[in-house]
Structure 1
Amino acid sequence: MPRKTIPKIGVGTYENTDPEVCKASVETALNLGYRHVDTAEMYENEAAVGEGIAATDCDRDDVFISTKIHSANLGYEDVLTHARESCDRLGVDVLDLLYVHWPIRAYDPEETLSAFDELYDRGLIRHVGLSNFTPALLETALEALDAPLLAHQVECHPLLQQKELRKFAREHGHRFVAYSPLAKGSVTEMPELVDIADKHGATPAQVSLAWLLSKECVVIPKSSSESHLRENFEARRISLDKTDIERIDGIDRTTRQVDFEAAPWS
């Protein structure tokens, strides 16, 4: 099956649970030029996402659709069943990218990833992804996985720079995908980003996204409003200079937005 390139900016749909709002925001995003839509079984909005995609004039082959298997459904047979159910809800025959959402609960490297290999071999998924893995868990997963790994998705922004995981992605040849790239809005109040935004006639949110893009990250900002969807998408036009990037690189404050007791890094 032909591989597809993952677009650098995607629209996130986490907590976008109202079906009409979710459908409209996905449709709006694609009409603005986005070609990457990120969802998950756990978000309970795959059907609305699929309706949003179907409502546009975009050719299916031009839209990169990624979703994730819930951590409770990572047994071999469950992965096969739930991947097909995600396809059905999204209204597609093939998933461009399927992630292991969290390496917890039912996750077992050999069992879970052999099912992902099976999906890849069958052509039900074009690419395999992992999400929320530590470097050690990534090492184990890569040993168990036969299919090529396209992407690792994890929280990343100027307050959680994930240098080790970004380096791991470069060294192992997969894409690093940043979720919560705006730190749930916290970046808008960071003095460093406010200053850089003023310099470029941009917003701090755009600066955060531009910084991640300068690091060859794929970014998945989420929004349901047209103005914010447009703002985020325009971040790709901002070119930060070396001084800007070094200033953000030098931020030594760390704040993780997504955390809980059973998280892999806890």
Structure 2
Amino acid sequence: MEVLKTQGIELPRLGFGTFRMPGADCQPVVESALELGYRHIDTAEMYQNEEAVGAAIASSGIGREQLHLTTKVWHENLKPESIRRALESSLAKLGVDYVDLYMVHWPSRDMNLGAVLETMQSFIQQGTVRAIGVCNFNMTLLKSAIDDIGAPIACHQIEYHPFLDQSKMLSYLREKAIPLVAYAPLAQGRAADDAVLREIGAKHGVGASQIALAWLLDQQGVAVIPKAGRRENQQANLDALTVKLDDEDRQAIARLPKNQRFVTPPFSPEWDK
């Protein structure tokens, strides 16, 4: 699988998301994904499934160095000592010595961003984290992290799908050679029912969801982390890697409404800043 190289790590462009897969039920799902060939697994302390993810990795027989593993610190734990405790807890639950990518899951309004990123960089020096990143930052916060603080941000994970414009963010990230990791790439299931995507899918002999993923993978510097509980859907997402869109397809998708954001918790930043 194609990888994106960033800050010393290699990020497989199609990963496996585990949001809303809490508890032990997550283990067989991740085991299935690993059997099918996924090598990029995305979790977080908030998902309450790190133990299950770790158990799946342990039972897979796949060498740790062959896997990319991401986890994240929750926005309520962004004081330096809390971040340290959160990482220690995540490593223990995952049953690993290090994670490939450790991310700020959401910004908090009262965080000291410089102290947060300094603490996270110390983990790289300690060897418990290979690279650091951020999720759900608006442009102001992202520029502060990269341009003002100079943190070695390996990627930015945000909601991105055919119904949400992220062109400004993507343009900035490309200037910095930083990948965008798209979560909710199927618009929380809505892509499957979109008439335009279904029509393009019929042309290529695939489903609408595969077209949504192919559209993201068609873009330079973008990785995607769809989740799928059923094995056939996990395979279908992998099959999106082989779909090649043409200009007619791209133009049709470009005409879809691009103002639909579906992940808006009350602690979200102001997105237009």
TM-score range, shorter chain: over 0.9
Task: State TM-score, norm by structure 1.
Answer: 0.95
Query: Aligned partners of 2:20 and 2:10: how far apart in 1?
Result: 26
Name the structure 2 match of 1:170. Answer: 174
Query: Greater strand percent: which structure?
Result: 2
TM-score by length of 2: 0.93
Structure 1 residue matching 2:9: 3-state secondary structure: coil
Whether the 8 Å CA contact 1:73–1:106 is kept in 2: the answer is no
C-alpha distance after superposition, 1:165-186 (max 9, x if no partner): 1111101111100000000111
**Gapped regions of structure 2 (runs ≥ 5):** 1-6
Task: Check whether the contact 2:201–2:207 (CA below 8 A) recurs between aligned residues.
Answer: yes
Residue 116 of structure 1 corresponds to 120
Unaligned runs of 5+ in 1: none
User: Cα deviations across residues 204-259 of structure 1 (Å, max 9, x unaligned)?
Assistant: 00000000000131001011111111111111011111221122122234211101
In the alignment, the residues of structure 2 paired with residue 98 and residue 116 of structure 1 have an alpha-carbon distance, to the nearest angstrom, of 8
Instruction: Give the counterpart of 2:81 among 64, 77, 82.
Output: 77
**For 2:124 and 2:148, how far apart are their aligned partners in 1?**
14
Aligned partner of 1:87 in structure 2 is 91
Would you say the 8 A contact 2:217–2:241 is kept in 1?
A: yes
After TM superposition, give the deviation of residue 143 of structure 1 in Å: 3.9
What is the identity percentage for the equivalent residue pairs of Structure 1 and Structure 2? 36
* Preserved CA contact (<8 Å) 1:73 1:79: yes
CA RMSD in angstroms comes to 1.5
The list of structure 1 runs, each at least 4 consecutive aligned residues, that deviate by more than 3 angstroms after superposition, is 143-147
Name the counterpart of 1:243.
248
Pairing 1:232–2:232 present: no
> C-alpha displacement at 1:260, in angstroms?
2.6
How far apart in 2 are the matches of 1:38 and 1:64? 8
Query: Do residues 47 (structure 1) and 51 (structure 2) align?
Result: yes
Whichever residue aligns with residue 80 of structure 1, its letter is R
Distance 1:253 1:97 in 2: 29
Check whether the contact 1:117–1:146 (CA below 8 A) recurs between aligned residues. Answer: no
- Select 2:260's aligned residue among 238, 255, 259: 255
1:142 aligns with 146
In the alignment, which residue of structure 2 is the partner of 1:18? Answer: 23
CA contact (8 A) 2:191 2:212 kept: yes
Alignment size in residue pairs: 264
